[in-house]
Amino acid sequence: MSARLDQLGYAESRLVRHSAESSDLVPKPDAPDARIVLVAGDRIVLAGDTALLPSGQAASACHADLTLFLGRLDGAPVFACAVSPEAADGYESDPGFRTTDLRSLAAENAVAPHELGLLATAKSILAWHARHGFCANCGTATRFAAGGFRRECPTCETHHFPRVDPVVIMLIRRGESCLLGRSPRFKEGMYSCLAGFLEPGETIEDAVRRETLEEAGLRIGAVAYHASQPWPFPSSLMIGCAADSLDDAITIDPAELADARWFTRDEVSAMIAGTHGEGLTVPPPMAIAHLLMRAFVEERL
Domain harbouring 290, CATH code: 3.90.79.10
**3-state SS assignment for residue 210:** helix
What lies within 8 Å, CB to CB, of 131 at 6+ separation is 234
Please give the distance of CA 15 from its chain centroid, rounded to a whole number: 16
Residue 1 pLDDT > 50, yes or no? no
| Cα gap 51→119, rounded to integer Å | 8
Residues 194, 115: one domain? Answer: no
| Cα gap 40→83, rounded to integer Å | 5
Residues 118, 192: one domain? Answer: no
Instruction: Work out the average pLDDT over 179-196.
Output: 97
Q: What are phi and psi of 88, to 5 degrees?
A: -60, -35
Domain end call among 104, 130, 156: 130
| Cα gap 90→35, rounded to integer Å | 20
Residues 78, 182: one domain? Answer: no
Task: Please give the biggest Cα pair distance in the chain.
Answer: 63
Total number of domains constituting the chain: 2
Domain end call among 106, 130, 154: 130
Domain end call among 130, 150, 178: 130
Sign of the CA dihedral running 214, 215, 220, 222: negative
What confidence tens digit (pLDDT) does each residue in 245-279 have? 999 999 999 999 999 999 999 999 999 999 999 99
> Considering only CA atoms, which of 129, 108, 133 is closest in space to residue 44?
108
| Cα gap 85→57, rounded to integer Å | 18
Domain with 280, as residue range(s), is 165-298
- In this predicted model, which residue has the larger pLDDT, 20 or 196? 196
For the entire predicted model, the pTM comes to 0.94
Residues 118, 187: one domain? Answer: no
Q: 4 pLDDT band (50/70/90 cuts)?
A: low
Tell me whether residue 257 is in a domain: yes
Residues 121, 187: one domain? Answer: no
Residue 33 pLDDT > 90, yes or no? yes
What pLDDT is recorded for position 63? 79
Residues 243, 185: one domain? Answer: yes
- In this predicted model, which residue has the larger pLDDT, 20 or 239? 239
* Residues linked to residue 259 through DSSP beta bridges, in sequence order: 182
Residues 125, 229: one domain? Answer: no
Residues 122, 178: one domain? Answer: no
What confidence tens digit (pLDDT) does each residue in 197-245 have? 999 999 999 999 999 999 999 999 999 999 999 999 999 999 999 999 9
Instruction: Work out the average pLDDT over 163-187.
Output: 97
* Residues linked to residue 35 through DSSP beta bridges, in sequence order: 54, 78
Residues 245, 122: one domain? Answer: no
Tell me whether residue 265 is in a domain: yes
Q: In what order do the strands lie in the sheet with 143-145?
A: 143-145, 150-152, 159-160
Tell me whether residue 154 is in a domain: no
* Mean of the per-residue pLDDT values of the chain: 94
| Cα gap 86→298, rounded to integer Å | 46
Residue 37 Cα distances to 59, 90, 103, angstroms: 10, 16, 16
| Cα gap 262→267, rounded to integer Å | 10
Tell me whether residue 157 is in a domain: no
Tell me whether residue 146 is in a domain: no
Q: Is residue 271 within 8 Å of residue 263, measured between CB atoms?
A: yes
